[in-house]
Amino acid sequence: MHDHNPLKAVFFDRDGVLNVDRGYVHDPADLEWVPGAREAIAALTLAGVRCIVVTNQSGVARGYYGEEAVHALHAHMQGDLRRLGGQVDAFYHCPFHKDAVVEAYRCDDHPDRKPNPGMILRGLAEAGLSPQECVLVGDNDSDVEAARRAGVEGFLFTGGDLLHFLRTKLGRRFPAGPGGPA
């Protein structure tokens, strides 16, 4: 862990980390937050730590829903987060997949599709961050591999309370204050 570097951003996978993964979640009515997810983002936001979402969305490529549904769900998530004082600073999604039924989204190995680091690299560049100032939390090995390829420390979240997980993994780097270390 890069304890000597201040934490400036946390990259989050979406399904399975922030929201319960029910398979191709795209309708706000189907959104169920992972315990502690909203509180973790609120604590990070209040401490000035950026929260950035990087999510593969093959449901778009498979024709299950369109990109407008992805944007609508993200807007709904922002509304929920703002009620607790949190926010996501940027959402990145990759709609591309090698088995796409929607031709426009067919790509054998898109640079944004995790385990490739494209979304993370874009987030770093657009926010002016260095990899050493960031961590990524994902629920799949492909998330952690994408982080590694971007030079960012990755943590594998296997479930439970996300706020507790971040406190445990980040230790002193997790912001003090509401939701911070006791």
**Is 21 in the active site?**
no
Q: Cα–Cα distance between 170 and 44 in angstroms, integer? A: 12
Burial of 149 from C-beta contacts in 10 A (0-12 / 13-18 / 19+): middle
Residue 99 in marked binding region: no
108 appears as a binding residue in the annotation: no
With H, G, I as helix, E, B as strand and everything else as coil, classify residue 40: helix
The CA-based angle 111-117-121, given to 5 degrees, is: 105
Q: Is 51 annotated as a binding residue?
A: no
Catalytic residue among 3, 13, 21, 80: 13
15 assigned binding-site residue: yes
Cα 21 to Cα 109: distance, rounded to the nearest angstrom = 23
Question: Out of 3, 15, 21, 108, which one is annotated catalytic?
Answer: 15
Instruction: In whole angstroms, give the CA distance from residue 20 to residue 98.
Output: 25
* Active-site residue, 15 included: yes
Binding-site residues for Mg(2+) sit at: 13, 15, 139
Known binding-site positions for Zn(2+): 94
* Residues annotated within a binding site: 13, 15, 94, 139
Active site residue ranges: 13, 15
